[in-house]
Structure 1
Amino acid sequence: MPDISTTMIIVLCAAAAAAGWIDAVVGGGGLLLLPALMLGLPANVPLTHALGTNKAVAIVGTSGAAVTFARKAPVDVRTAVRIGVAAMAGAMGGALLAGVFSKDTMRPLIMVVLLLVAGFVLFRPAFGAAAEGGPVSRRRIVAAILLAGLGIGFYDGLIGPGTGTFLVLALTALLHLDLLTASATAKIVNVGTNGGALAVFAYQGAVLWQLAALMAAFNLLGGMAGARMALKKGSGFVRAVLLTVVLALVVKLGLEQWA
């Protein structure tokens, strides 16, 4: 493990717990966890090691949240797994290209996407408030596999931050789910994206396993706590957290961009 101070390790563990909570409720924990790793790791540690360690931490918390949701939320596990398998394949492809784009290049793009997300949710108050009745058509499931699975999975392997949030929005729109069910489904899909990317990073030796194991324990606790709170509070709570997280991250990324 790189030479990291005890204080920084505590900060990274706290960030992991907070990211796990955010990820479980609405996704987007990577937009907290990855920057924390990029700032906390020594300057000589490659970006791919921050990405790989991020995946090793995130998959533990996401798995814990997925299990918690699957037990109590009305999730179509079969459909979620199918999308998750496609997401795993997409994430592996993205991870193979990780490091091609610098963080300075990607930050403005992520900001634009987040602003569009915030605007859409803010001006569509009925979005995700309730699921539409009736079975989901085969065409919509295929679209979810291609867009939410392969597409967002590829992004997760390539860069990662915001994947959970994008999954929640895509699944809500494509499968006509309420935000709570979409968040629960996204956790299962996110396990696939994290697993695919982690497999590639691990093969490349780009995971700091000792640090990841410590942070993963805190991420798991945060993820399970977030899942329980989302189940208790419902879709309205998820929507409020979604807007808060997205707007806070836009401000954070903007300050970093023009600092």
Structure 2
Amino acid sequence: MTEVLALDLLPPGLEPGTLLLVLLAGLAAGFVDAVVGGGGLVQLPALLLVPGLSPVQALATNKLGSILGTTTSAVTYHRRVRPDLPTTVRMAAVALVGSFAGASIAALLPAAVFKPVIVVALVGIGAFTLLRPSLGEVAALRHTGRRHHGVAAGIGAVIGFYDGILGPGTGSFLVFAMVSLLGYDFLGASARAKVVNCATNLGALLFFVPHGSVFWGLGLLLGAANMVGGYLGARTATSRGSRFIRVAFLVVVTALIARLGWDVWTEELRPRW
């Protein structure tokens, strides 16, 4: 009974200084996620610093904080960009199912696989963006009708599954899949990605909550920080446009590759006894 109640409040080893760091990461993550996606790449590593918090509990608590931030940025984008809802809703519905399926497998992953997978994903999307300088500057839709909706649903299923099983970088993957495969510009893709990201967070939470993996007190505090960051980020992105989003993405990805790559390298060199 004591263990269940602990999951409803805060991790027992959480110090005020660490909590402040996590909340600052949540604020930054909300802003980054609203602008370029991938806020979890800031937020999840911060949660993994909390003593006694397992990777699955960190992932679950991250989802609770993230869904509040992505909802705020999605509403802000919708008011200013007005993305087409039929495509977005279809993607979101399929992504929710994919995320639930991914979350059901996440508990089986060893903790050691998390950071290396994140680094590989970052390198891939960073290189893809850097090598395509004109990508996403202007919307030029590649498909119409059922084919358009079918490709959108496929993107939602694959990235939704990834979000459930791991999470960080989901918003970025959504944005760049919609830019490269569907032909949206960065701003339009970001607006749609927020709605889909809300669904993927919800799908994962539908699995994690019944299993008692969420620290509700920490998650709600994190969500409040995410909401502030998400609102500010969405307003900045809609006022500055696609070129700003691309530059911001490359800066964030480069910094995170360096940080997480160093973490993976030092863990590999650390003696195992």
Under TM normalisation by the shorter chain, which class is it? over 0.9
Following TM superposition, by how much is the alpha carbon of 1:96 offset from its aligned partner in structure 2, in angstroms?
0.6
1:115 alignment counterpart:
123
Q: Output the aligned Cα RMSD.
A: 1.4
Does residue 69 of the first structure (1) align with residue 77 of the second (2)?
yes
Distance 1:181 1:225 in 2: 17
1:208 alignment counterpart:
215
Distance 1:46 1:89 in 2: 24
Does residue 91 of the first structure (1) align with residue 96 of the second (2)?
no
Does residue 2 of the first structure (1) align with residue 19 of the second (2)?
no
Count of residues paired in the alignment: 256
Residue-by-residue CA offset, 1:47-102 (whole Å, 9 max, x unaligned): 22111100000000000000000111141122111100100000000011112222
Distance 1:25 1:255 in 2: 25
**Is the contact made by 1:28 and 1:161 (CA closer than 8 Å) also made in structure 2?**
yes
Distance 1:135 1:53 in 2: 37
Cα 1:12–1:106 change in 2 (3 A) is: closer
Question: Identity, % of aligned pairs?
Answer: 44
Question: Which of 123, 126, 141 is the matching residue for 2:134?
Answer: 126
Structure 2 unaligned blocks of 5 or more: 1-9, 267-273
Following TM superposition, by how much is the alpha carbon of 1:133 offset from its aligned partner in structure 2, in angstroms?
5.9
Distance 2:82 2:147 in 1: 21
**Is the contact made by 1:104 and 1:257 (CA closer than 8 Å) also made in structure 2?**
no
Following TM superposition, by how much is the alpha carbon of 1:134 offset from its aligned partner in structure 2, in angstroms?
8.5
Cα 1:23–1:172 change in 2 (3 A) is: same
Written as runs of structure 1 = structure 2, the 5 A alignment for 1:156-235 is 156-235=163-242
Opposite residue 42 of structure 1, the aligned amino acid is P
Following TM superposition, by how much is the alpha carbon of 1:106 offset from its aligned partner in structure 2, in angstroms?
3.6
Written as runs of structure 1 = structure 2, the 5 A alignment for 1:27-38 is 27-38=37-48
TM-score of the aligned structures, taking structure 1 as reference length: 0.95
Larger Cα-atom Rg? 2
**Is the contact made by 1:34 and 1:54 (CA closer than 8 Å) also made in structure 2?**
yes
Cα 1:60–1:251 change in 2 (3 A) is: same
Following TM superposition, by how much is the alpha carbon of 1:137 offset from its aligned partner in structure 2, in angstroms?
4.0
TM-score of the aligned structures, taking structure 2 as reference length: 0.90
